[in-house]
Amino acid sequence: MMQAELNTRKTKIIITLGKASSSVEVLIKLLQAGIDAVRITTRFLHREDMEKVLYNLREAENIVNRHVCVILSLREGDIRIGNANAGSQLSLNIGDEIRIVTSKYAGKDPNTIVCNNSAFPSMVNPGDKLLIEFGKAIFTVTEIEDRRYLRERSFSAAETYTGLERYKRTRPKVQKNQKIVHCRAENQCVLDDDKPLNFLNASKVTCDSMTNELEDIRLLEWAGPMDIDIIIYKQVRDLEDLRDLLSFTTSSKVKRFVGIQTKETAENPEDYLNISEGCSIGRGGLAVETSHSAVCKLQKSLVQLCNKLGKPVFISTQVLESMAVNDKPTRSEVVDAYCAVMDGADALMLTGETAYGRYPELAVRNLHKICVEAEQHMNYGKHRKMYYNSLNIPLNAMTAICYFAAEAVEKVAASVIICLTKSGKTARVISRFKPSCTIVAITDSLKTMRFLRIIRGVYPILSDGSPSRDNERVAITLCLEHEIAKSGDTVIFVGNNKDSFIEGTTTRFRIITIS
């Protein structure tokens, strides 16, 4: 893959870290393939493993010399089921009986499924419909059984020394209560381990039953010293719930996004976006809580709304899902990703493809090719006009400068817009106007550089921040080194009169030909 093409791709690629992508060797390959951000979540990594994986990421970044944005998904509190024999598959036919339990000690019957939420039996009634893996399998609840069983004998760590030989002490058998949810399979399917379970009638499930407030707080406390860049708050069902999460003190430099994946957030997205800094569209949850046919319209309208509000937007769930097991995406997946790019999404997120899939690097490279192809056919002027028409006139000085810089790209055939930025705001505003060329954002802040990795069309470069009388020349030299521009190209330089990294001082732009 050519470095120039990698650096000038506008749509960003986010991967989810898991067992398939946690080693330094694999992370190096993924960085070289062009990832822009990584997502960590308790869904695929235990909390004690997250820290080790992040250290591996930092080591890989230093080797490749490419820093990426780190995203933490909070509240992965969706109900999940897994086979009693972890890692195996469960094949079901129509009419098969399934038992769902909440304890691994309830037995290992082939048709027994373990649920990660101990409150699950109290959430359902006979006759309820359950959707597994966003509808891949449909179960009907037939009975809720209250059973007592004896927990198997287990050895304690302590041992008793008798002087002759050592005898292990054993805990006595303890009688436990176990509620078992009996279900009937309504279709033929094959289920893998750790798949999401949803209710056909989501209104029966309260926010409290789906989330763990203590775990949320622990993750937020952990995120501070780990230098997380973005936190996505998921499973949000009302504004007060989101405000409570946002009120928890984190680093002031951490960006807070809302996960649009519930019916409530989809019905009033602007209310949630107004108190957050961006969003992630979880299409799997949306399909279950609304309808499969409504997801396409919702995705397009949400991307358009985020573009209008100037908020970064990610699209996730089954982007190239088949590549978890196959070395090529399906044609429908290619079309889906292509359309998401054309709609104006900032980033596409790979989940199972990189968390546990067989071909994480291939998935990234295929998504890169799709994004580059789609970007060549975008109507950038249409997107720019749409955003401009949503603004209040008169514009402030910085917004006007950024707009005219984006407008000038086609008129002077500029190959790149270069800006100096402290907080990243200048680059983000230029990005909203969707110029057809790459935006090079030069900053002296590593935190700003990592966040700008997920802003559409922006290629951030870290500078040492030392004062210079000729920052334009220094910036152009950096563009040449990163193969974003070449001799003879026309570039647009956006900055201030002093050409320094001072926040809120963007006042001018110049058109320059590289000699």
Which one of 188, 204, 220 terminates a domain?
204
- Domains in the chain: how many in total? 3
In angstroms, how far is CA 336 from the centroid of its own chain?
17
Residues 310 and 372 in one domain: yes
Residues 194 and 311 in one domain: no
Query: In which band, very low, low, confident or very high, does the pLDDT at 106 lie, cut at 50, 70 and 90?
Result: low
Amino acid letter, 22: S
Residues 198 and 87 in one domain: yes
DSSP 205-242: S-HHHH--HHHHHHHHHHHTTTT--EEEE-S--SHHHH
Q: How far is CA 395 from CA 235, 417, 420, 506, in A?
A: 37, 20, 21, 13
What is the mean pLDDT of the segment spanning 149-165? 50
Give pLDDT, residue 160. Answer: 47
Residues 389 and 421 in one domain: yes
Which one of 321, 351, 377 terminates a domain?
377
Residues 226 and 138 in one domain: no
Nearest 5°: phi and psi at 145?
Answer: -105, 135
pLDDT beyond 70 at 172: no
Report the residue count for the chain. Answer: 515
What is the mean pLDDT of the segment spanning 28-32? 96
Q: Which range is least confidently modeled, 151-165, 217-231, 332-346?
A: 151-165
Residues 197 and 346 in one domain: no
| CATH number of the domain bearing residue 460 | 3.40.1380.20
| CATH number of the domain bearing residue 72 | 3.20.20.60
Residues 322 and 467 in one domain: no
pLDDT in tens, 74-94: 876 556 666 545 456 788 899
Query: CA 356, CA 378: separation in Å to the nearest integer?
Result: 33
Q: Which token pair is 127?
A: 């006759």
Query: CA 250, CA 437: separation in Å to the nearest integer?
Result: 35
Give pLDDT, residue 456. Answer: 96
Residues 240 and 306 in one domain: yes
Residues 402 and 472 in one domain: yes
Residues 44 and 146 in one domain: no
Give the residue numbers spanning the domain of 88.
80-204
Which one of 182, 204, 226 terminates a domain?
204
Give pLDDT, residue 110. Answer: 75
pLDDT beyond 80 at 2: no
Query: CA 174, CA 151: separation in Å to the nearest integer?
Result: 6
Average pLDDT, the chain: 84
Give pLDDT, residue 157. Answer: 47
Residues 431 and 476 in one domain: yes
Q: Which token pair is 164?
A: 């002759």
Residues 217 and 197 in one domain: no
Query: CA 391, CA 352: separation in Å to the nearest integer?
Result: 39
DSSP 126-187: TT-EEEETTTTEEEEEEEEEEEEEEPPP-EEEEEEE-SS-EEEEEPPP-EEEEEEEEEEE-S
> Taking a C-beta distance cutoff of 8 angstroms, is the pair 429, 398 a contact?
yes
Query: In which band, very low, low, confident or very high, does the pLDDT at 359 lie, cut at 50, 70 and 90?
Result: very high
The answer to pTM > 0.85 is no
Q: How far is CA 85 from CA 17, 88, 130, 142, 176, in A?
A: 23, 6, 21, 24, 21
Amino acid letter, 309: L
- What is the rounded radius of gyration, in angstroms, for the C-alpha atoms of the chain? 26
Q: Which range is least confidently modeled, 89-98, 246-255, 383-392?
A: 246-255
pLDDT beyond 50 at 504: yes
